[in-house]
Amino acid sequence: MKGIELFSIRMRASAQGRHISGAERIIPAGDIPQVFSALYARAQSKGAPPEQIVITIENLANEGIERIPALDVATCAARDYSEARSTAAQVLESLGVSRDAVFSALQLLAKGPSSTGGVMRGAMVINAETGARLEPDQDRGIRASRFDWEPAASAAMDDALASAGLTHFRIKEALALASKAAHAPGIVAELCWSDDPDYTAGYVASSRTGYIRFPMMKPQGSAIGGRAFFVTAAGFSLAACTGYLCAQTVLINAAGRCKAPSSPAEVLAALTSTHDEDRTNRSAVAGAPQ
Ligand code: COA
Ligand code: AMP
3-state SS record for 183-242: CCCCEEEEEEECCCCCCCCEEEEECCCEEEEECCCCCCCCCCCEEEEEECCCCCCHHHHH
- Report how far ligand 1's centroid is from the alpha carbon of 24 (Å): 9
Of the candidates 225, 210, 208, the residue with the CA atom closest to the CA atom of residue 281 = 208
**Residues whose beta carbon lies within 6 Å of some atom of ligand 1:** 10, 12, 19, 22-24, 54, 56, 121, 140, 143, 145, 170, 173-174, 177
Closest-CA residue, ligand 1 atom 34, reads 22
Q: DSSP secondary-structure letter at 48? A: S
Task: Please check whether residue 170 is in contact with residue 225, taking contact to mean a CB–CB distance below 8 angstroms.
Answer: no
**Running along the chain, 290 residues long, what does each successive block of 10 average in pLDDT?**
86 94 97 98 88 96 90 97 98 98 98 96 98 98 98 98 95 98 98 96 98 97 97 96 97 97 95 72 52
The verdict on the CB of residue 144 being under 6 Å from ligand 2 is: yes
Residue pair 143/247 in contact by the 8 Å Cβ criterion: no
Q: Is 61 helix (H, G, I), strand (E, B) or coil?
A: coil
Query: Which three-class secondary structure state does DSSP give residue 66?
Result: strand
Residue minimizing CA distance to atom 1 of ligand 1: 121
pLDDT at 290: 35
pLDDT value, residue 48: 79
Here the contacts of 167-172 (C-beta below 8 Å, separation 24 or greater) are: 168/199, 168/201, 170/194, 170/196, 170/199, 170/201, 171/73, 171/201, 171/213
**Cβ neighbours of residue 204 under 8 Å, at least 6 residues apart?**
88, 91, 92, 189, 190, 191, 212, 214
Q: Is the CB of 119 under 6 A from ligand 2?
A: yes
Among all bound ligands, the one having the nearest atom to the CA of 14 is 1
Instruction: Mark 36-50 as b/e (b = at least 16 C-beta within 10 Å).
Output: beebeebbeeeeeeb
Residue 142 near residue 229 (C-beta atoms within 8 A): yes
d(CA 3, CA 242): 27
13 Cα: distance to centroid of ligand 1 (angstroms)? 9
Identify the pLDDT of residue 289: 40
Mutate to test the pocket of ligand 2, among 143, 169, 196, 218 (most ligand atoms within 8 A of CB): 143
Cβ atoms within 10 A of the Cβ of 82, count? 11
Instruction: Render 247-265 in DSSP notation, one character per residue.
Output: HS-EEEEEPPPBPPPB-HH
